[in-house]
Amino acid sequence: MAGLIERLRRLGPVLAGLVVLVLVLLLKWIDPAPMERLRLQVFDTYQVYHPREAALGQGVAVVDIDENSIAEIGQWPWPRTDIALMTRRLGEAGAAAVVYDIVFSEPDRTSPAEIAARYENLEGTDELRAALSGLPGNDELLAESFAQVPVVAAYFFLDPGETGREVEPKASFTVRGTVPNSKVTQYGPALLPLPILEESAAGLGFVSLKADVDGIVRRVPLVARQGDVPVPSLGLDALRVARDSARLEMLMGDGGNVALHSPGAVVSITVDGIEIPVNEAGEMWVHFSPESSREPVTASSIITGDASDEQLTEAVAGKIVFVGGSAEGLQDLVATPMTESTGGVNVHAAAAEQILAGHFLERPYWAFALELIVLVSLAGGLAFVLPRLGATKGALAAIIGISGVAVLSWFAFTRANYLLDPTYPVLGIAAVYAVQTVVAYYREERQRSYIRSAFDRYLSPELVRQIAADPHKLELGGEERDMSVLMCDIRGFSRISEQYKPNEVIDFLIDFLTPMSDLLMERRATLDKYIGDAILAFWNAPLDDPDHHRNAARAALEMIAKTEELNRTMPGNEGVVWPGEVKIGIGINSGLCCVGNMGSRQRLSYSLIGDTVNMAARLEGLTRQYGVPIIVGSTLAAELEGFALLELDRVRVVGRDAPETIHALLGDEQVAADESFQGLATSHAAMLAAYRTQDWDAAQSALDSGVSAYARFGISGLRDLFVKRITNLRANPPGAEWDGVFQATQK
């Protein structure tokens, strides 16, 4: 029995790893939306760092109805005569096809007949109405231009229940295999162009784009179903028209020598001999190039003639010209892996560019099986060998496995244009390693890890060793102790946060908090917590520190000095985020606190509470008002004999009725012995005495005589504060009952 238990104990990590592997396999089979989103974001990252080369997009041009065009030509929709002019000019310039990513579904309201109808009830307009009625309609003129130029018109599929028309495609599909099934999106009625325009157009395609779960368009559907009839997309029919092809072919899963495909699933679509790999829904992955690589032609320049015939010929001759809008008012903006907002016409253009270049992104039919094999091989193998390798070698094996998967996926994308998902193999390896490490961790080092997890983030290594020798100090509960508490905060941190990205702010905080924490721990401090940019530390717990008052004072002075050093040295370091001159404020207070392991029996936090802590936080806040870097309370000041202390004021802080005498800590014993400090202390004490007796002239005189002394110690702001107060008190005498206590209104 004992032997069986021992074998199970040894097999525990292996079994745990295999259980995790099974769970990851189940997760891959289900493929929930968060994992799908993560996979797509990985593919997006690949595109950002390895976009399609601009040279692969020479056969397509884009005419953009941008904000400048709207400003120049006028509010959309424009008169169809302008569209007709643009169509004719593009045809004369040699465009292989003019493709409108615009649905002309309503009659032009600026047509002569439409205008004549508006004057029907006005007297004296008979001749005008007769003249207008005799003119050709704008839609007829646009249809004539469509007949003269190879034009591909667009239409939208409508939501169920909306009224529309059935699509009559200009070209039919030759289907090799079973007709498309439910994997190919089926739509109902469509919003089509006016019949006269539809008839005149050489091609007709849908422009409906479907975004992924995160709202980003990554694929373009080349085929959809209206009923059981497959119909082509705008880009696909544009290629057919431009290459003067009579038909389109669609290969289904059972239409040839194709493995691992089901009947009714699309495998590829062929136009004029170009075979386009698609997913089973007939969608093509788009490999985007940087938008800056294609310079669009503005629509207004064609209509107004700003673009000469020679310039237009150079831009569009022999190319498929997509016409669409990026202006916000046209409501045709989509997000892609390369940009948060672009005109939908650019997506159709990018897809056509790829097809013409024979450059395709593909998630091959065998990708899922390969990913399963990699996942089981690497994660399963790690589950068996990790317990024998140990922590260091096991971590190295996991890193090699994860790196190998990432490199394989990256090279498949960059070298073969394959989209292989690395997320599940990486997740499987990481999860197996993590779970097995945790099992071994709790099995072998439970007690020691408990102690370290409780203290090594806020105690020095020396203190951790002492507590490890006496684990009873981790009992839940607290005790009252005389303690010194320090609160440090970066001034203007909100302004700093606005200047940088979140990850840069984190890097800055790490670079700042690390040396500050080192100084505190060297002075035997216990780090309670980091509150954003603030540090809360205390002394004399959990271990006794008879000299905690002086240790707190010296730590504060060293933190100020260290901040000045960092301001001098950090900005010059490459890659370091350091926002100019950083300043900090420190409040220190001493007194009784309740300290101990607080929280629940499941989760402990070694911390302290009490009025002393609240006062330290208030003192830190007062450093901004008084213009000094360090403020200490009266109890602590009484314990700092020989330090350079300067009494600042008597203050009643927010949330506390009793006034507190506060002091500025300007230096250690050496600074206190300096004649300049002694002179400052004498003149400032005289000023306070006169101030509290309402002798404003004497107080002002003491401030005037100490201008250079305040400046020498960097506390000119303190002098300015009292000058302003005295000026206000002269104008508004406080009365005989005034006790000289300042009432703080801010924390």
pLDDT tens profile 673-729:
999 999 999 999 999 999 999 999 999 999 998 899 999 999 999 999 999 999 999
What is the predicted pLDDT for the residue at 5?
45
**Cβ(672)–Cβ(628) under 8 Å?**
no
CA atoms within 13 A on the CB side of 68: 11
The answer, yes or no, to whether residue 318 has pLDDT greater than 70, is yes
Backbone angles phi, psi at 367, to 5 degrees: -60, -45
Measured between alpha carbons, how far is residue 143 from residues 136, 316, 418 in Å? Answer: 11, 21, 43
Amino acid at 495: R
What is the predicted pLDDT for the residue at 703?
92
Q: What is the mean pLDDT of the chain?
A: 86
What would the mean pLDDT of 577-585 be, rounded to a whole number? 91
Tokens of 202: 């050489």
Residue with the larger pLDDT of the pair 545 and 258: 545
pLDDT tens profile 441-488:
776 665 555 555 555 555 555 556 656 666 555 555 678 999 999 999
pLDDT tens profile 197-231:
999 999 999 998 888 888 899 999 999 988 788 89
The answer, yes or no, to whether residue 57 has pLDDT greater than 60, is yes
What is the predicted pLDDT for the residue at 126?
57
**Cβ(270)–Cβ(251) under 8 Å?**
yes
- Residues found in the chain: 747
pLDDT tens profile 225-274:
887 888 999 999 999 999 887 678 888 877 665 555 667 788 889 998 88
Task: Give first-to-last CA distance, the chain, whole Å.
Answer: 66
Gap between the Cα atoms of 696 and 729, Å rounded:
8
Neighbours of 629 (CB within 10 A): 22
Amino acid at 299: A
Tokens of 731: 């104008």
pTM, rounded to two decimals: 0.57
User: Which residues 6+ apart lie within 8 Å of 667 measured at CB?
Assistant: 557, 643, 644, 674, 677
The answer, yes or no, to whether residue 6 has pLDDT greater than 50, is no
What is the predicted pLDDT for the residue at 1?
46
Q: What is the DSSP letter of 170?
A: S
The answer, yes or no, to whether residue 2 has pLDDT greater than 50, is no
DSSP-assigned letters across all residues of 689-719: HHHHTT-HHHHHHHHHHTHHHHHHTT-HHHH
Gap between the Cα atoms of 548 and 553, Å rounded:
9
- Indicate the SS3 state at residue 510: helix
Query: Of 177-191, 270-284, 457-471, 573-587, which gets the smallest average pLDDT?
Result: 457-471
Backbone angles phi, psi at 20, to 5 degrees: -60, -40
pLDDT tens profile 373-394:
999 999 888 888 887 887 788 8
- Indicate the SS3 state at residue 222: coil
Q: At what angle do helices 446-455 and 423-444 cross, to 10 degrees?
A: 110
Residue 335, exposed/middle/buried by CB under 10 A (0-12, 13-18, 19+)?
middle
What would the mean pLDDT of 626-642 be, rounded to a whole number? 95
**Cβ(178)–Cβ(266) under 8 Å?**
no
Gap between the Cα atoms of 250 and 225, Å rounded:
13
Number of H helices, E strands in the chain: 26, 27
Unique residue bearing structure tokens 């034009």: 151
The answer, yes or no, to whether residue 4 has pLDDT greater than 60, is no
Tokens of 598: 């607080």
**Cβ(662)–Cβ(651) under 8 Å?**
yes
- pLDDT tier at 631 (50, 70, 90 boundaries)? very high
Gap between the Cα atoms of 189 and 165, Å rounded:
5
**Cβ(619)–Cβ(696) under 8 Å?**
no
Looking at the DSSP bridge assignments, the partners of residue 283 are 221
pLDDT tens profile 119-177:
565 555 555 555 555 567 788 889 999 999 999 999 988 887 788 888 888 888 888 88
* Phi and psi based region of residue 386 (left: phi greater than 0; alpha: psi -120 to 50; beta: remaining): alpha
The answer, yes or no, to whether residue 637 has pLDDT greater than 80, is yes
What is the predicted pLDDT for the residue at 505?
92
- Percent over 70 (pLDDT), the chain: 87
pLDDT tens profile 412-444:
999 999 999 999 999 999 998 888 888 877 766
Q: At what angle do helices 344-357 and 234-242 cross, to 10 degrees?
A: 50
Query: Of 109-118, 142-151, 539-548, which gets the smallest average pLDDT?
Result: 109-118
- Indicate the SS3 state at residue 664: strand
Radius of gyration of the chain (CA): 38
Gap between the Cα atoms of 457 and 460, Å rounded:
8
**Cβ(483)–Cβ(548) under 8 Å?**
yes
